[in-house]
Amino acid sequence: MPIGFNNIIVWRHAEAEDAYIELGESDMARALTAKGQRQAKRMAHWLKQYLPKDTMLLCSPAIRAVQTAEALNHKITVNQVLKPGASLQAILDDLTSLESPKPNVLLVGHQPWLGQLVTHLTGFSDAELNIKKGAVWWLRLSLDQSSAANPCYNVIAVQAPSLLPN
């Protein structure tokens, strides 16, 4: 079964504190820095202008991702599959299995799976893409080039918080 969303918007979490794993700190507990909070607010303001009302927001369980998503003031569904280090196949399987009446999804998560997802959905599977912290990539289903078995998405917008007004 293919992924069934008209729009897939990916949002990488904003800048977060460094993790000191060797000191016992959890990567999942890393919070946004002050700069990250500003990045999230700027990007949320931009998203609010364009995000379709019928968008489902799925978020990684990592604190930095949840804090990024909270800036949008939208209903958040924390999805354990979207954790740091998730495999592209796990993400694809999860998106394929979703039974949602909403045709649009916003995913808040992490590298490298966000970049892998974008390259896979746009047909550049062997390319490497690094999505910058706090940035959004907006993909829309291409009706011209898609088949039911192998949908293809076009990039319709890329926005970085550094390009937005304070």
Please tell me the CATH code under which domain 7-163 is placed.
3.40.50.1240
Q: What is the pTM of this model?
A: 0.93
pLDDT tens-digit series, residues 131-166: 999 999 999 998 765 555 566 899 999 999 999 987
DSSP-derived pairing of the beta strands 76-78 and 7-12: unpaired
Contact present, 136 and 43 (Cβ < 8 Å) = yes
pLDDT value, residue 150 = 65
Q: Convert the pLDDT of each residue in 33-59 to its tens digit.
A: 999 999 999 999 999 999 999 999 999
Q: What is the pLDDT of residue 2?
A: 74
- Which pLDDT band holds residue 108 (cuts at 50, 70, 90)? very high
